[in-house]
Structure 1
Amino acid sequence: MKNKQAEMVKRMSDKELLYHLYMSQLLFFLVAAVLAFFLFEGWDDFLILLEWDIQEIFTIGSSVGVAVVVIDLILMKYVPRELMDDGGINEKMFQKRSTLHIIALALLIATVEELLFRGVIQTHFGIWIASFIFAIMHIRYLHKWLLLISVILLSFLLGYLYEWTENLLVTIWAHFIIDVLLALKIRSEYVKKTNGEVSEGYENRDE
């Protein structure tokens, strides 16, 4: 049971995996939009959560994002590999992507997930419920105690960052920094392993 999702991912073609990612993000966005429509008095009440404070966004958001990545890299170096193994899902998702595609995916994921979990759920139901649902949505970590704890702590960190700054753009940027740096690390390791022979053209050969 605990390896079921990993096995499913291994059997998926690249196009299928990418399709599922985009569909899940579309679903999250639709859920966020519907909940926001009913829970906020108007769109103006939702939009005030997005404050374009460049210094706050890039200084605080970047600092938190980089700190999380550094901690993650330390864990990867000193913790047994099996405890940090998500079944190869992230590797398959990012190792053969172009840098531009990785940036686009990281921005999409960070924006949609923060809009839903922090902007809508946490704003109306609190940080505990938002963090619990965030952890449940990362179901592939449920049988990996260290990864599960990491996801829960990350959700609380982003939640407290949102409560502190009262600016959803800060948490979106921090989330983006975490995802894009870790994804680029995966790609970089794959490039070294294959002597730079990386191309997304392989997607057509999976069919």
Structure 2
Amino acid sequence: MKNKQAEIIKQLTDKELHMNLFLTHIILLMLSAVLGIFLFDNQSQFFKLFRFQYWNILFIGGSAAAIVILFDLLAMKLLPESYQDDGGVNERIFKSLSYPMIFLVALSVAISEEILFRGVIQTHLGLFWSSLIFAVVHFRYLFNWFLFLNITVLSFFIGLIFELTDNLLVTVFAHFLIDFILGIIVKIRGNDKG
């Protein structure tokens, strides 16, 4: 299964890979909207999950992101490269993107995934199920025990932050910072390689 996925990805052009990424996150937003219609009593119940508490957003979201980024950098430095091998997908995604496009990709991923997994699923099914579903949806990580463990722990960590703050803007900001900064690191490392 892993080899089949790698072959499919190799056949895609960078533009096709990026389009698939954006389409996936548009689908996640549409799924969030449909599920939200059925699961929330009204729109205001959903919109209460977004609170502009700048200190919480910046301090808690930023601190959470810093912890995750430092852990990932430490893992990249200390562990064999095979532990970080997702079949080259992240490198393919970020290596060819400009820095403004990395910003947009990170933002779209953070918004769509946090609305669905924290805002809709966690709000209605709880931390355990939302975190497990989040980890499984990141399909390419299923074939590497370290990446799967990493994404699962990350999901529980972000879910716990949502439990503590009850504010999607905190988790969106943390998720965005993680993806944006690590995306830049992947781009720089990918360009250094070749």
Q: TM-score, normalised by structure 1?
A: 0.91
Q: Is the 1:111–1:172 Cα contact (8 Å) retained in structure 2? A: yes
Deviation per residue, 1:28-58 (Å, 9 max, x gap):
0011001111111111110000000111101
1:80-119 matched pairs, under 5 angstroms: 80-119=80-119
Deviation of the 1:190 alpha carbon: 3.4
1:18, distance to aligned residue in structure 2 (A): 1.0
* In 2, Cα distance between equivalents of 1:193 and 1:16: 23
Q: Which structure has the greater CA radius of gyration? A: 1
Higher helix share: 2
Task: Structure 1 unaligned segments of length 5 or more: list them.
Answer: 195-207
Distance in 1, matches of 2:142 and 2:191, equals 30
CA–CA distance in structure 2, aligned partners of residues 114 and 190 of structure 1: 27
Percent of aligned pairs sharing the same letter? 43
Q: Counterpart of 1:3 in 2: which secondary structure?
A: helix
Map 1:28-39; keep pairs closer than 5 Å. 28-39=28-39
User: Which amino acid in 1 is paired with 2:42?
Assistant: G
Aligned Cα RMSD in Å?
A: 1.0
Distance 2:157 2:130 in 1: 12
Is the contact between residue 162 and residue 168 of structure 1 (CA under 8 Å) also seen in structure 2? yes
Is it true that 1:22 corresponds to 2:22 in the alignment? yes
How many residues align? The count is: 194
- Measure the CA separation in 2 of the matches of 1:33 and 1:190: 36
Please tell me the residue identity of whatever aligns with 1:4: K
Residue 160 of structure 1 deviates from its aligned partner by 0.3
CA distance in 1, matches of 2:132, 2:191: 36
Task: Determine the structure 1 residue equivalent to 2:78.
Answer: 78
Matched residue SS, 2:2: coil
CA distance in 2, matches of 1:191, 1:3: 24
Alpha-carbon deviation of 1:193? 4.6
SS at match of 2:143: coil
Partner residue in 2 for 1:125? 125
Q: Which residue of 2 aligns with 1:41?
A: 41
